[in-house]
Amino acid sequence: MAEQIIYIDGEYLPKSKAVISVFDHGFLYGDGVFEGIRAYNGYVFKLKEHIDRLYESAKTMMLDVQMKKSVMGEAVIGTLKRNNLRDAYIRLIVTRGVGDLGLDPRKCPKSSVIVIAGTISLMSKEAAENGIKTLITWVRRDPIDGTSHETKSLNYLNSILAKIEANNVGADEAIFLNPQGYVCEGTAENLFVIKNGNALTPPTYTGALPGITQVAVIEIASKMGIKVQSRPITAHELFNADEVFFTGTAAEIIPVASINGRVIGSGKAGEVTKKLRREFAKYAADPANGTPCV
């Protein structure tokens, strides 16, 4: 089996030689940004949107990417081609680059770009189809004036702490509240509530990531005649929803069966969620929504 090929700063390297410096501020301080991207049947899903979001995150952090967006896209495509992948999960990373042991970003003269292409599996197929067990975590989502999750940075301690809590109690995933107590998102996913045939999803100003899959699902739902509203959601509304599901690049669409011991709907994937899963699979497979990588 051929060794996996990784892109680092203009070079395509075998996995065994793909290394970064211990002085890289992405490693030392989580000082960098990233995107998770999917390829379906030879097309990279929403590549432009992912790259645009990457550069927006970098701008907020005053991280100079030092690479044109077109070249960034070529690096993603090149990594897929060198790994002979038509269906893949891609991790696109930009770090602040090599500096010293101090915090000052000015000590990092050049950012670093890394592309990894492989596979990912967050949940079992059965869980993804039938619904997962979740809890509202004690960890609050970072405030929007701090390490806001509107910026997709390398600092994921907030999510890791919540994931640890979920693991400790046997839950599959955790749900965040923001500092004001409103429902925010999962550890790495956006969240939707279905009530009386309509859909709700938390807005970005609550601290949630502006999700690319989230936007796709809103588009699909609207075409299905489902009214979608983006507004703050309370835990009470969450517990009493007809259906709840997560969306994300890695997650795609995952139904929620229970939250903190409260059964959601029938305790299985609801009819609206199942329809959206089917329609999303068609949407993601449509070449019009992707960039060719073969």
95 contacts: CB under 8 Å, gap ≥ 6: 20, 24, 25, 26, 27, 31, 32, 111, 112, 114, 154
Crossing angle for the helix pair 69-82 and 47-60, to the nearest 10 degrees? 130
Is 195 considered catalytic here?
no
Per-residue pLDDT tens over the stretch 168-205: 999 999 999 999 999 999 999 999 999 999 999 999 98
Residue 206's pLDDT is 87
- The whole-number pLDDT of residue 231 equals 96
Q: What is the pLDDT of residues 98-137, one digit of tens each?
A: 999 999 999 999 999 999 999 988 777 787 778 999 999 9
Gap between the Cα atoms of 69 and 75, Å rounded: 10
Question: Which residue positions in the chain have pLDDT lower than 70?
Answer: none
Neighbouring C-beta atoms of residue 226, cutoff 10 Å:
17
How far apart are the C-alpha atoms of 126 and 123, rounded to whole Å?
Answer: 8
Domain boundaries of the chain, sorted by first residue: 5-120, 125-285
Quote the CA–CA distance of 255 and 247 in Å, as a whole number.
9
Of the candidates 114, 44, 112, 49, which has an alpha carbon nearest to the alpha carbon of residue 81?
A: 44
Assign 73 to helix, strand or coil: helix
Q: What is the DSSP letter of 287?
A: G
Cβ count near 47 (within 10 Å): 25
pTM of the predicted structure, to 2 decimals:
0.96
Q: Report residue 166 as tokens.
A: 């979920």
Q: What is the pLDDT of residue 120?
A: 85
Answer positive or negative: Cα dihedral of 77, 9, 15, 103. Answer: negative
What is 125-285's CATH topology? D-amino Acid Aminotransferase; Chain A, domain 2 (3.20.10)
> Which residue's entry shows tokens 């079992």?
124
What fold does the segment set 5-120 form as a domain?
Answer: D-amino Acid Aminotransferase; Chain A, domain 1 (3.30.470)
* Residue 3 contacts residue 54 (beta carbons within 8 Å): no
Task: Point out the catalytic residue in the list 69, 107, 133, 152.
Answer: 152
Q: Return d(Cα 4, Cα 21) in angstroms, integer.
A: 20
